[in-house]
């Protein structure tokens, strides 16, 4: 593997199209990973709670503790984690998430409640319905809109294969509509739903044949970073519940507006460019040590730590975790992923909000100007292409330049949408070295529980403590960690 390429300082131009990296900078994280453990220094500040990681989960936890002294430490230049958006020629575009489910009722400990709607209201975020068609599929050279619904009739397959698709989607819908359908939060599920974690999404659908399998793989790789046979049926169904149960919601540039609102209400309680390198505790306090921009250690004392950051470096950062937890953390699998944003002079695609592609570097794309009220009048477009690379894709993702990906992306898009390459002016590639903790079969009912469990002054959050990578998981895990921290502060 070559040297990891840094974000920001890498730009190249191929046949007049400039291409550059954005997002996760591997150099910082690898500095912590590859150097001897960082020693703490005498604490120069104290807080009730320090939250490590300023993604949706960490920001939600800090929001829940805003009446306490709380500090969020975030390694990037901007909080939000995966939930970030930028702007090009007046078009807001996403670096990751595109849509969200609105609030829904869950039953837990004898109580029925909706944990999302009041939270969105409190933070002041309003979601808009994504207009139809939300989904489409390029298959065998044909564009099929609403392929999860009435579009099945238009699939370029013989009648018996179309029937298999109908049956497969019907099978998913029967789960989605049943009271035993998996749901976030995981704690609200009964034994029947949890049993699904023993199986993969592939197990559930393989009897519908290879054509259905290929399409389900595309969706699974885009949503979870792994093919259907690698993903827990529990995780897949709890996510598909949103996709199959009606309208989808979002905002211009995806769903990052939630992170932006939380960041603005938290103000200077969020400290960026601070990579946490060591966490330890004694009988009376916990100590979080981060490296500042000059790689100098700064230690902060606190009563509780909420760890809402990536788990792959956790065994290195925490000094005193029990072996059982360390082993569970080491068994986690992370996929590599990138999102390529294509800045286009002219309209390349506007037949649906999202569209899947067979046999391409990317699984699907989202049209960012789809959410502009009154339509896009700029004549320009930003398309977000989702490019999962799998659990073995990290070396390629870290060592290859933008110029390696650019021709692959453009020629694959040209194959499906002739004339598209000529309209692309610039390409921004946002890399996720450890994109998702892959919810493999057995993870949610097994290692996830160990990883999530509190250890003295350490509390664990982030979407992976729910096992389903989505906003609901990140929000719920943040809320729960804030509640647990309050108990610690008593
Ligand atoms: C490409 C993509 C598309 C997606 N699409 C959707 C979608 O359409 N709908 C949906 O619901 N969900 C979607 N998701 C998932 C959703 O975005 C995530 O589940 C959610 O944002 C996770 O939030 P989090 O806070 O749990 O984790 P993260 O967003 O990963 O936040 C973790 C934070 O910790 C920081 N950090 C890591 N290590 C350290 C350290 N040592 N010190 C300090 N800080 C550290 C990171 O920089 C990051 O900011 C998508 C995700 C991606 C990447």
The pLDDT score that the predictor gives to residue 1 is: 39
Dihedral of the alpha carbons of 39, 41, 46, 49, in degrees to the nearest 10 = -10
**CATH number of the structural domain 150-247:** 1.10.405.10
Rounded Cα–Cα distance for residues 12 and 400 (Å): 12
Q: Are 275 and 29 in contact (CB under 8 A)?
A: yes
Q: What is the Cα–Cα distance from 53 to 71, expressed in whole angstroms?
A: 10
Cα–Cα nearest to 135, from 322, 366, 349, 313: 366
Residue 48 and residue 68 in contact, taking contact as beta carbons nearer than 8 Å = yes
Ligand 1: centre distance to CA 53 (Å): 9
pLDDT for 472 equals 96
**For the chain, how many helices (H) and strands (E)?**
15, 22
| CATH assignment, 37-83+256-332+438-489 | 3.50.50.60
Supply the pLDDT for residue 9. Answer: 46
What strands, in cross-sheet order, belong to the sheet with 354-357? 11-14, 17-23, 424-432, 336-345, 380-390, 364-367, 354-357, 136-139, 142-145
Omega within 30 of 0 (cis) for the link into 185? yes
Report how far residue 200's alpha carbon sits from residue 218's, in angstroms, rounded to the nearest whole number. 15
Q: Cα(102) to centroid of ligand 1, in Å?
A: 19
Residue 100 beta carbon below 6 angstroms from any ligand 1 atom: yes
Of residues 27, 469, 79, the one with CA closest to residue 272: 79
Distance from Cα 329 to the centre of ligand 1, integer Å = 18
Judge if the beta carbon of residue 481 lies within 6 A of ligand 1. Answer: no
Going along 77-120, which residue ranges are E strands?
Answer: 85-88, 91-94, 106-108, 111-113
Question: pTM here?
Answer: 0.96
C-alpha 474 to ligand 1 mean position (Å): 8
Q: How far apart are CA 100 and CA 91, in angstroms?
A: 20
Q: Is 379 left (phi over 0), alpha (psi -120 to 50) or beta?
A: left
Reference 195, options 447, 444, 14, 473; nearest CA is: 444
Structure tokens at 104: 């829904």
CA–CA distance, 216 with 391 (Å, rounded to integer): 18
What residues does each domain of the chain span? 11-24+335-432, 37-83+256-332+438-489, 150-247
Q: Is residue 81 in contact with ligand 1, taking CB distance under 6 Å?
A: yes
Q: Which atom of ligand 1 is nearest to the CA of 259?
A: 21
pLDDT of amino acid 372: 85
Q: The domain 11-24+335-432: what is its CATH number?
A: 3.90.660.20
Bond preceding residue 133 cis, omega within 30 of 0 = yes
- For 167-222, the pLDDT digits (tens) are 999 999 999 999 999 999 999 999 999 999 999 999 999 999 999 999 999 999 99
Ligand 1 proximity of 470 Cβ (cutoff 6 Å): yes
Cβ neighbours of 42 (radius 10 Å) = 7
Residues of the chain falling short of pLDDT 70: 1-12, 23-24
**Helix, strand or coil for residue 323?**
helix
DSSP state of 399: H
């Amino acid at each position: 593997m070559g040297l990891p390429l840094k974000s920001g300082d890498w730009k190249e131009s191929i046949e007049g199209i400039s291409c550059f990296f954005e997002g996760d900078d591997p150099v910082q994280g690898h500095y912590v990973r590859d150097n001897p453990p960082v020693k703490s220094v005498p604490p120069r500040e104290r807080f009730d709670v320090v939250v490590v990681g300023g993604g949706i989960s960490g920001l939600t936890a800090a929001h829940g503790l805003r009446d306490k002294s709380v500090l969020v430490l975030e390694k990037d230049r901007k909080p939000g984690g995966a939930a970030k958006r930028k702007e090009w020629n007046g078009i807001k575009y996403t670096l990751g998430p595109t849509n969200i489910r609105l609030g829904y009722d869950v039953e837990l400990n004898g109580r029925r409640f909706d944990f999302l709607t009041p939270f969105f209201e409190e933070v002041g975020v309003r979601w808009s319905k994504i207009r139809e068609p939300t989904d489409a599929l390029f298959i065998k050279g044909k564009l099929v809109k609403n392929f999860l619904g009435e579009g099945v009739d238009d699939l370029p397959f013989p009648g018996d294969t179309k029937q298999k698709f109908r049956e497969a989607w019907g099978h998913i819908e029967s789960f989605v509509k049943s009271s035993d359908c998996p749901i976030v939060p995981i704690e609200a599920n009964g034994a029947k739903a949890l049993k699904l974690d023993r199986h993969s999404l592939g197990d559930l659908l393989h009897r519908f044949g290879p054509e259905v399998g290929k399409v389900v793989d595309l969706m699974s790789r885009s949503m979870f970073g792994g093919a259907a046979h690698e993903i827990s049926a529990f995780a897949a169904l709890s996510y598909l519940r949103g996709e199959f149960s009606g309208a989808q919601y979002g905002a211009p540039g995806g769903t990052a507006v939630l992170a932006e609102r939380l960041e603005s209400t938290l103000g200077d309680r969020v400290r960026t460019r601070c990579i946490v390198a060591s966490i330890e505790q004694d009988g009376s306090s916990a100590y979080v040590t981060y490296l500042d921009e000059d790689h100098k250690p700064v230690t902060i004392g606190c009563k509780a730590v909420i760890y809402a950051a990536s788990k792959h470096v956790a065994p290195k950062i925490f000094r005193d975790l029990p072996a059982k937890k360390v082993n569970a953390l080491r068994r986690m699998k992370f996929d590599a992923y990138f999102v390529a944003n294509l800045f286009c002079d002219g309209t390349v695609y506007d037949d649906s909000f999202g569209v899947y592609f067979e046999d391409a570097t990317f699984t699907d794309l989202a049209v960012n100007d789809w959410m502009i009220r009154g339509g896009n009048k700029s004549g320009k477009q930003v398309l977000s292409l989702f490019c999962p690379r799998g659990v073995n894709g990290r070396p390629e993702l870290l060592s290859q330049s933008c110029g390696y990906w650019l021709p692959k992306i453009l020629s694959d898009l040209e194959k499906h949408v002739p004339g598209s390459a000529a309209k692309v002016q610039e390409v921004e590639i946002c890399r996720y070295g450890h994109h998702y903790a892959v919810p493999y079969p057995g993870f949610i009912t097994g290692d996830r529980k160990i990883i999530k469990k509190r250890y003295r002054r350490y509390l664990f959050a982030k979407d992976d403590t729910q096992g389903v990578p989505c906003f609901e998981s990140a929000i719920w895990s943040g809320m729960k960690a804030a509640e647990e921290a309050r108990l610690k502060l008593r």
